[in-house]
């Protein structure tokens, strides 16, 4: 019996020390991970709304329709557009992307921040061959097509990943709808929060 107790105490000691080490490593890496995520977010805001240097987070007005964050982008002392963080549901789960829309309602660019789509299929959504199709699109609503686009509002789906392609396009459409319904005429005026990037 004492041999079992001794082995149990040894196992407990090893587990306790391992747990303390893992806890310390977790604590030490929290801040660098948070800083890396903030840096990635800032880069996404800047790349999807060229010309903007300052970003101020706005309160989401009513139902966001899949929009989790809205930023007002300023450049040269005036608002040049808005960034939207949207989270549409793809094939493998939620896709987090940033959509930049200028004051004319033109999608300037998109940047996928996070996804769990199938490697080799839906994971291609962040590649220029697909994501680049959204750059400088001016349309009220975009549609996915399996064939080469025949009009300005069409986006060609990734072969074998129509669900992912549709999800990303739905996210962009949600941003365009929010812009049209709530920001197009400067409706954001009094809803600014204090958080700036």
Give the gyration radius of the chain's Cα atoms.
22
pLDDT in tens, 148-176: 999 999 999 999 999 999 999 999 999 99
For residue 146, pLDDT over 90 is answered with: yes
Q: Quick one: pLDDT band at residue 193, thresholds 50, 70, 90?
A: very low
How far is residue 178's CA from residue 176's CA, in Å, rounded to a whole number? Answer: 5
Residues in contact with 145: Cβ distance below 8 Å, sequence separation at least 6, in sequence order = 154, 155, 156, 157
What pLDDT score does 196 carry? 54
pLDDT tens per residue across span 94-105: 999 999 999 999
Phi and psi (nearest 5°) for 45? Answer: -60, -45
Q: How far apart are CA 113 and CA 95, in angstroms?
A: 8
Closest CA to 195 of 66, 71, 40: 71
Q: What percent of the chain has pLDDT over 90?
A: 61
Its pTM stands at 0.78
What pLDDT is recorded for position 103?
93
């Amino acid at each position: 019996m004492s041999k079992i107790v001794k082995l149990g105490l040894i196992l407990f000691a090893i587990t306790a020390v391992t747990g303390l080490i893992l806890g310390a490593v977790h604590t030490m890496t929290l801040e660098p991970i948070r800083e890396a995520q903030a840096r990635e977010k800032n880069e996404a805001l800047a790349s999807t709304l060229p010309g903007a240097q300052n970003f101020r987070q706005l309160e989401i007005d009513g139902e966001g329709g899949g929009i989790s964050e809205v930023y007002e982008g300023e450049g040269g002392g005036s608002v040049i557009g808005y960034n939207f963080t949207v989270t549409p549901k793809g094939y493998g789960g939620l896709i987090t992307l940033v959509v930049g829309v200028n004051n004319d309602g033109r999608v300037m660019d998109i940047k996928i921040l996070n996804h769990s789509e199938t490697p080799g299929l839906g994971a291609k959504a962040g590649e220029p061959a697909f994501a680049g199709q959204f750059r400088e699109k001016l349309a009220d609503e975009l549609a996915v097509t399996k064939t080469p686009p025949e009009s300005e509002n069409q986006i060609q789906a990734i072969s074998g990943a129509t669900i992912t392609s549709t999800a990303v396009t739905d996210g962009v459409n949600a941003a365009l709808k929010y812009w049209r319904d709530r920001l197009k005429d400067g409706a954001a005026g009094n809803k600014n929060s204090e958080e700036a990037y």
